[in-house]
Amino acid sequence: MPHLVLLYTPDVERDVDISRLCRALADCMLEQRDENGRAAFPTGGTRVLAYPAAHCAVADGKGDYGFLYANLRMGAGRSQLVHKQVGDSLLKVLREHLDALLAQRPVGVTLQIDESPGQVYDAKHSSLHPLFNKAP
């Protein structure tokens, strides 16, 4: 963890390079630092996943409406300052990639950040983390 999941109406892909957006969001997450200058997120655990909705209905259905929902889920332990900093930074990236589309037609964009303090089970099995956990 952290995992940022994008769910969007398929028509968004006409105007937005979703792969490029995913990379920009992941890079943004990896740039984040806490109050002590440490990385806010582990490199090997940072993921951005994007899914066009197979079925959707937006607003009253009478227009060319689009939607993109971004949900960042992270484990507990980061400060409120880091939460805000991460949210503001991710929103900036989303705006850089989506504002031209929003100027063309009605599109809703939502970013939510959830922290999971009440995990009852959290297992990880990965050959990815060891690539980034080597001592310098």
Q: What is the pLDDT of residues 22-55, one digit of tens each?
A: 999 999 999 999 999 999 999 999 999 999 999 9
Helix (H) or strand (E) holding 25: helix 18-31
Cα separation, 102 vs 17, in Å, equals 14
Confirm if 91 and 85 have CB atoms less than 8 A apart.
Answer: no
Average pLDDT value for the chain: 91
The tokens for 33 are 């630092």
Cα separation, 53 vs 66, in Å, equals 11
Q: pTM for this one?
A: 0.88
Whether residue 98 has pLDDT greater than 70: yes
Domain that holds residue 13: 3-132
For the domain that residue 29 is a member of, what is the CATH number? 3.30.429.10
Helix (H) or strand (E) holding 66: strand 66-75
Q: How many domains does the chain have?
A: 1
